Chains A and B, each alone.
Chain A
Amino acid sequence: MNKSFKRYLSTIVISLAFIAFIVFFPAWRDKAVTSIFFQTKTMLLVIPPIFILLGLFDVWIPREKMTRYMGTGSGFKGTGLAFLLGSFAAGPLYGAFPFAAVLMKKGASFTNILIFIGAWSTTKIPMLLFEMAALGKRFALSRLAIDIVGIIIIAGAIKLAVPKKEMTRLYDQAEQID
């Protein structure tokens, strides 16, 4: 079987399932179609700058620097940096995953990677300002505070729960990214 056909096999199956869904459930059809256009638009809008930054990051940031600042021995500085990187990011969480893979490739520690993903998901600064305006300072800031605690706990728990072998596999996989 053709390699790219194999890669897109799940996509073909899922798109057929989607077509079946809108055919058999006409009540949801309009919303589903509107939604897919809206989501595609968002993705197409957000994706180019994220991937361009990712490419530039990969080319310009030397591995030794990354390992020193965010590697296993980087301590609080590394954690802080992971939080900062994630908090200044923009765009939905799915943008964080390819970026995290590049950080892994460059030698950032697994805990810091998880913190980066956590920060990207919940402590983004532009979003926080918006949240404060909409839901109030008390709501937004207390949510931020507790979620920062949560990000650290979750990162630690995953690090402890995932066997070394799996972690090595993930790093090897990230290494393959060209």
Chain B
Amino acid sequence: METILLYGIAALALFFSLIKDKQKTKTALKKAWKAFEGILPQFINVLFFVATVLAIVDTATISRVLGSGSGFLGIIGASLIGAITLIPGFVAFPAAAALLHNGAGATQVAAFVSSLMMVGVVTLPMEIKYFGKRVAILRNVLAWLFSILAAFFVGWVVML
């Protein structure tokens, strides 16, 4: 659904660009290809990282950690799992919802969702390529710490 929207916008933009200036559009497409080729090695590396992590940490593992791990340790565990996995929202949200219905704490689920979105350990090679080690690592560490804080807030609001 999201992807269709994305394609629609890109097609529309491309269409108008073509009407306005053919040469510029050509340059744009060349730039697009160059930008893609520039990051391709890191892209492929990320693919391998993600596949390895998701083979070891599968949905069953995630359910186990989020479902059983209550309390603060459960929150830490949930946020760590969120940090190292890369799962699209349309897979993660229904899974998280199922966990909530089966009695997992909202705080743990929120820690997972928040760190899943904000922290990307497996995509670090790409982030470092553009932002350097310092910024990339700092951003991920801060985002991870914050995801724990956010989890408490969401847990508290849901309990209200």
Query: Which residues of A come within 8 Å of B, CB atoms?
Result: 7-8, 10-11, 14-15, 17-18, 21, 28-29, 31-33, 35-36, 39-40, 42-43, 45-56, 58-60, 90-94, 97-98, 100-102, 114, 117-118, 121-122, 126-127, 130-131, 133-136, 138-139, 142-143, 146-147, 150, 153-154, 157-158, 161-162, 166, 169-170, 173-174, 177-178
Contacts and interface: CB of A to CB of B under 8 A. Distances in A.
A154 B143 contact: yes
| Majority DSSP secondary structure for residues of B touching A | helix
B33 A91 contact: no
B10 A53 contact: yes
Nearest to B7: A49
Interface residues of B, number: 80
A98 B6 contact: no
A53 B9 contact: yes
Contacts of A150: 118, 143, 146-147, 149-150
B68 interface: no
Contact of A50 (B6, B29, B94, B147): B6
A60 B3 contact: no
5 contacts: A21-B52, A58-B31, A90-B6, A98-B39, A139-B158
B138 A161 contact: yes
